[in-house]
Chain A
Amino acid sequence: MSSFESLSVALSSLYAQRRGLDVTGQNIANANTDGYSRQRIELTAVGAPAIPAVWSTWSGAGSGVSVDGLTRLRDAFLETRGRDTQASLSQFTTASQTLNQVQQLIPEPGTNGFQSILSNLWSGFADLANNPGDSSARTQLLQRAGAVSDWLNTTQSSMASQWSAMHDQLSALVSEVNSATHGVADLNQAIQSATLSGLPANELSDQRDLLAMKLANLVGASSTVGTDGMLSVQLQGSSLVRGNVAQDIAVNSIPAGLLDVTAGTQVQITLASGGQPLPVATGQAGAILDSLNNVLPGYSARLDGVAAKLANAVNTQQTAGYDLAGNPGIPLFTGTTAGTIKVAITDPKLLAASGVAGAANLDGSNATALSNLANQVGGPDEVYQKFVVDLGVATQTAARRVDSQTAISNQINAARESQAGVNIDEEMTNMISFQRGYEAAGRLMTAVDSTLDTLINHTGLVGR
């Protein structure tokens, strides 16, 4: 052991403690940075050579400390679970939001809801039955029938614009996915280069994990780190990122609007290069696809059912009666869907209040029959009420699913945070350790310096 060995031991310690302080500083600086994983300095004691050279001897205690690297404390398995739960959570949240929006179109229960508008129509028929000859009762009825068809038209068109808005949202989402997959591919390349040249790539890995989480959020894509350190991203069996190559996805939209969606004509996500549609079921995209292909068309069809039932019931009864001039009644409504239903009669005299054939008369029995449609079993009121209840149950269930998934997601996130998050107390403790270590190494150097001083300057001076 040379006399200067201790100096280099002290020096290695000074270096190591400085690195330690740097890492602590980096951790503290990023205590609140999204996606940052705390880092730990890996120190190893440098001992005697494992394979001594021929004729050499070793009498030293060891030759200091070396910095092996900076470890990024993040659990890959927890991350995978985190991505899965996040994909489900954003799916449920988006689904719940869609249902909430549909529900907002149906202002029930209340005095402004469709039920009140419909009840007013039946009341109007009863008023007509009381005064078949009164033109004001007839005009009032036409207005109320107009209110019914207007509500159906407006609600249908609101659903259609909701559909279009969600479709736009899906397109925006897909381009966001594409930019994220390219980001992952670029980072894969950068991380590989950094690792090859022995540079730390922890911050780059953090960024890549953030993007992977975003992809799970958006389309429910799953990501795995391969043995080469590259993160591959898969979506329903198709590879979105492999190595430093990313594949774009695209919205393959054949239906142009809400009313064009059928079992065979659906909005799909495919690879931009073409091929089979990817059955995306989770993430925001999964929920949006379900809303576009099933939820909105489903409720729109339910609304059509109300319109068809109403038009059919009223028209059947109306044509069974006779108008003010004694002529057979003509249908009150045209169109059998919520979007197309209209009041066909403009002349109030054509309302068939009378149930008595022959000459003109002021009988009101057919109007009474029309007003009794309010209680018809399986009639428009019942169809509408069932629609409202089904929508309410679906919305409630969706909200509950979000609640329970949020609880699960919170637990996973807490576990992830517990693994990767920065604890200030811990960093402070580390900081003090490194600080004291640095001081001690400095003191060692002083001590060695002082012994060398004794040796060089004060030894062999006897008798000078």
Chain B
Amino acid sequence: MSVSLRVTQRSIADRALLGLQGNLDRLSTLQQQLSSGKAISQPSDSPMGTISALQLRADITQNAQWSRNAQDGLGWLGSIDNALSSATTMVSRARDLTLQGNNTGFASQQARDAMATEVDQIRNALIGIANTKYLNRPVFGGTTTSSTAYDANGNYLGDSNPVARTVGSNSQVRVESTGPEVFGTGGSSLFQVLANISTDLRTNPSQLGADLNSLDSASNLMMSQTADVGTRYQRLNQMRQAADDKQLNLKASLSGVEDIDLPKTMMNLQMQQVAYQAALGATAKVIQPSLLDFLK
């Protein structure tokens, strides 16, 4: 501004008003930031910060979903694990009975009939276990719409489609085991083997040795699936933990982008208040006097 500028009362008042308005505007911005707690309340406050906030929010929602998916998967695998451990106990009881029955010198036919009845019961109980449900869906039935995985005769009703849970970007974990994978298929299926044992106990004890081998291989299949389920459970648990941790980190980042630095903003507000009061004081002093005050 040139030096020779002629100053008038109105120009002083105008300039004072502009200055005061600028001060008040900054004050109100700080006030708004403090009362909302947000440094970015609209995209133009910081376009780059806004895009970070948008992406972080999307990521947080996604990680929360992954964590929820993993939780659901843990429910499935937990049910399977429980089912398999009780199935294992039952299968070993069936093995004991078969061994006893195979000992022809020791067991009478009457005793073997009794054993056969118990094996039948074990078989029925195992079919019940194979129909274990989680949230009303058979956990050994793949993606079947049927309410059970096996019918009463031990025939598989499900399909072989996997049920998977997404627990990370491009990371899916299977959360079911289909019946055939766990209990075997056709003649070597656990239920068929147990049916054979029951029949052989009653009518053909000499076959029991071979049955025992079949039972062992069916049992081994189940064991290996139990181990597999355990591993998947472990992995899912880790992924859930990772998703939860990530979520915490993302929330911290979002807060860093979006939220105000409280002490700093308080300090700024204080400074702005001082500046505003100083401006008010100065304006009051400058605007008042004119030559009028000194003329008599």
Q: List residues of chain A with CB under 8 Å of any chain B CB.
A: 31-32, 99-100, 103-104, 106, 108-110, 113, 115-116, 118-120, 122-123, 126-127, 129-134, 354, 356, 360-365, 368, 371-372, 374-375, 381, 384-385, 388-389, 391-393, 395-396, 399, 410-411, 413-415, 417-419, 421-425, 428-429, 432
Contact = CB atoms under 8 A, between A and B. Distances in A.
- Residue among A356, A411, A413, A423 with max Cβ neighbours from chain B (10 Å): A423
B5 interface: yes
Contact of A361 (B9, B55, B58, B161): B161
A428 B135 CA distance: 94
A362 B143 contact: yes
5 contacts: A32-B10, A109-B40, A116-B61, A129-B165, A414-B5
Listed from nearest, the 8 A-B pairs whose CB atoms lie closest are A392-B43, A392-B47, A395-B44, A109-B53, A421-B8, A119-B61, A361-B143, A363-B143
Interface in B126-164: 135-137, 142-145, 159, 161, 163-164
Interface of B: 1-2, 5-11, 14-15, 18, 40-48, 50-51, 53-55, 57-58, 61-62, 64-65, 68-69, 72, 135-137, 142-145, 159, 161, 163-166, 169, 172, 258, 290-292, 295
Contacts of A396: 44-45, 47
A75 to B, nearest CB: 12
Contacts of A115: 54, 57-58
Given A115-B54, A119-B61, A129 B166 contact: yes
B6 A418 contact: yes
A368 B6 contact: no
Given A354-B143, A363-B161, A422 B10 contact: yes
Given A103-B42, A363-B163, A392-B42, 19 more contacts: A31-B9, A100-B44, A106-B43, A115-B57, A126-B68, A126-B166, A129-B69, A364-B164, A374-B58, A389-B47, A393-B47, A396-B47, A410-B18, A411-B1, A414-B5, A414-B14, A421-B8, A421-B10, A422-B8
A108 B42 CA distance: 6
Contacts of B43: 103, 106, 108-109, 388-389, 391-392, 395
Contacts of B295: 428, 432
A134 B58 CA distance: 25
A422 B11 CA distance: 9
A356 B290 contact: no
A362 B58 contact: no
Contacts, number: 171
A393 B46 CA distance: 8
Nearest to B43: A392
Contact of A109 (B15, B57, B135): B57
Nearest to A28: B292
A295 to B, nearest CB: 14
Nearest to B166: A368
Contacts of B166: 126, 129, 368, 371-372
B2 to A, nearest CB: 8
A152 B44 CA distance: 21
A10 B115 CA distance: 150
Contact of A392 (B44, B161, B292): B44
Contact of A423 (B6, B40, B143): B6
A103 B169 CA distance: 32
Contacts of A368: 164, 166, 172
Contacts of A395: 42-44
